[in-house]
Amino acid sequence: MFLYLSKLLPLFFYPLGLSCVTLIVALVMLWKRPRIAALCIIFALILLLGSSNAWVSRFLVRSLEWQHIPTADLPTAEAIVVLGGATKSALPPRPGVDLSESGDRVIYAAQLYLQQKAPKIILSGGRIDWRGGGAAESTDMAAILTSLGIPQTAIIEEPNSLNTYQNAVNVREILQENNIKRVLLVTSAMHMPRSLQIFQRQGIDAVPAPTDFLISEGEMQELASTPKAAILNLLPDTKNLYNLTNAVKEYLGMVIYRLRGWI
């Protein structure tokens, strides 16, 4: 039940969902209270324009992604932990497992393994049944890794977790069973601040190894590189709205997880 509510309720805090709710209120109030309706429409418009321009979106995303900038040479560890959310199941018409936007997690884990940063890769992630079904994310990630030449014997799958807290709890059990003390934690840069806090809360010695950076120094400089760029970056764009929504999701997740004592 918590999983379902955690996916449903925050929609009312995300820009698009909150704008829709506000516009519904405006529609109800349109004839009896036109002033309130007008204020709701203005609020929804400001919210959408503000959350879908590059200035607001990039600065908010950067506030998360740049918290754990990877060092030039990551230390070695006893295992690489990769969090799910990086694959799309091999369901028709896909010929096989596809990588999602967060698929850099799998590629980066393979690179770290080939650089001999750790002898084991722990893949953590199940599959929510009402999201299209298919194999567990850990199984899909394992399929990608083996196709890249990573030996199956180096891979440990954890196919049961459905959120980041469960990732940490289930991985901790695997670490204890295999007497593993230190791990490299691989996930998207935006997801890393919350993930690292959760893993550390479980007593796991995790070294952050973020990937899948959406915002680079070049993209920040581009915002005001010319007067035309500064103006164009104020225009609404669905990509900006999507990235900002994910950033809001992470901050909201931190609040909820802290209230539950998970971080």
The per-residue pLDDT for 7 is: 62
Asked if residue 156 has pLDDT above 60, the reply is: yes
Question: Mapping DSSP to helix (H, G, I), strand (E, B) and coil, where does residue 149 land?
Answer: coil
Query: In terms of Cα–Cα distance, which of 95, 176, 82, 89 is closest to 124?
Result: 82
Radius of gyration of the chain from Cα atoms? 21
CA 117 to CA 111: how far, in whole Å? 9
Average pLDDT for residues 224-239, to the nearest whole number?
A: 95
Direct distance between the N- and C-terminal alpha carbons of the chain, in angstroms, rounded to an integer? 21
87-88 and 98-99 beta bridge pairing: antiparallel
Output the pTM of the full model: 0.92
* Residue 133 CB contacts under 8 Å (≥ 6 apart), including other chains: 89, 91, 127
Question: What band does 131 get if pLDDT is binned at 50, 70 and 90?
Answer: low
pLDDT tens across 15-71, in order? 999 999 999 999 999 999 999 999 999 999 999 999 999 999 999 999 999 999 988
Asked if residue 91 has pLDDT above 90, the reply is: no
Tokens of 170: 């289930």
Query: In terms of Cα–Cα distance, which of 238, 215, 234, 237 is closest to 224?
Result: 234
CA 55, 56, 61, 67 dihedral sign is positive
The per-residue pLDDT for 70 is: 86
The answer to whether the beta carbons of residues 91 and 133 sit under 8 Å apart is yes
Q: Which domains does the chain have, with CATH numbers?
A: 2-65+216-259 (no CATH), 71-208 (3.40.50.620)
Q: What is the mean pLDDT of the chain?
A: 93
